Amino acid sequence: MCAATSRPRVRQARFSEVRGEVLTDLAESYQPGDRLPSEPELATAYGVSRPTIREVLRSLEGDGLVRRIHGVGTFVTQVRPAVSSRFDLDLGITEAVAAANQRLGIQLLRATVEPAPPAIAERLELASDTSVLWVERVIRVNDVPAAHAIDAIPRRVVGRAAFDGGSVYRFLEEACGIQLVGGLADVSAVPASRSLARLLAVDEAAPLLRIDQLERSTADRPVLYSTEHYVPSVLNLSVRRIRHRKGSPDDGR
């Protein structure tokens, strides 16, 4: 009985895994209007049966990402990034990848204690040359570079805690005992520098989404300053905008 009930779960897990792989490939290698390989070719490429790949294509068609024309083929209608996250929710990038059920990879480039640059010291309300834990990482989604992140945490916040290379938010909350309440983020579109292009495997001057964010604690103290560059084809951010009714307390009166 146990074996009989476990098989559908295995099939569902494989379906979800292949669907994620196809979504990543659509974002990386296809444009709207491109024709996908045939079902037998796709089944061979992803190592699954034709019924499984047919089910994956059916789900993508239901999401409006592909269009299947009988006797002609399957065509891409739009390309969706592998990870989508709500910008009005204060999620760390590693948490967003996990929430999207995608495979997370973290390449730790640097984790050192050093004097904060003047501009960052000012944002963190620190005296000049105050030490911070400086963390630099490349975040990967399904083995594809998705973001470059630099995080600066005041040394007094870190104490004796040792950073393990994973989620910075989890490190602050669990290892440092800090309760985060969010903060102000500035968003801009920037061209990839030569160094970022190399780290993120994109062309130099390719468009990136940059977010500079200051996180505060429940004591209203700045505890984290982050600069992140996202590859839009891999990671997408959406914002929920709410229009207040005229005459409400928030309409500027």
Domain match, 106 and 195 both: yes
Distances (CA, A) of 59 to 19, 22, 54, 62, 190: 9, 11, 9, 5, 34
Q: What is the pLDDT of residue 28?
A: 76
The verdict on residue 246 lying in a domain is: no
Which residues of the chain have a pLDDT value below 50? Answer: 1-10, 252-253
Q: Domain of 20: which CATH number?
A: 1.10.10.10
Domain around 144: 83-238
Are 238 and 86 within 8 A, CB to CB?
yes
179 falls within a domain: yes
* CB neighbour burial string for 232-247, b if at least 16 within 10 angstroms, e if fewer: bbbbbbeeeeeeeeee
- Asked whether residue 56 falls in the same domain as residue 167, the answer is no
- Residue 58 sits in the same domain as residue 96: no
Among 76, 98, 128, residue at a domain's last position: 76
* 221 shares a domain with 97: yes
CATH number at residue 159: 3.40.1410.10
Tens-digit pLDDT profile for residues 131-163: 999 999 999 887 788 899 999 999 999 999 999
Domains of the chain: total: 2
Q: What is the pLDDT of residues 156-176, one digit of tens each?
A: 999 999 999 999 999 999 999
The Cα angle at residue 78 between residues 231 and 203, in degrees rounded to 5 = 30
CB 111 within 8 A of CB 135: yes
Return the closest-CA partner of residue 226 out of 155, 114, 106, 124.
124
Tell me the pTM: 0.65
The tokens describing 227, both together, are 């600069």
243 and 229 in contact (C-beta within 8 Å)?
no
Alpha carbon distance 193, 148 (integer Å): 12
Answer yes or no: is 251 within a domain.
no
Assess if residue 162 is contained within a domain.
yes
- Give the per-residue pLDDT at 23: 79
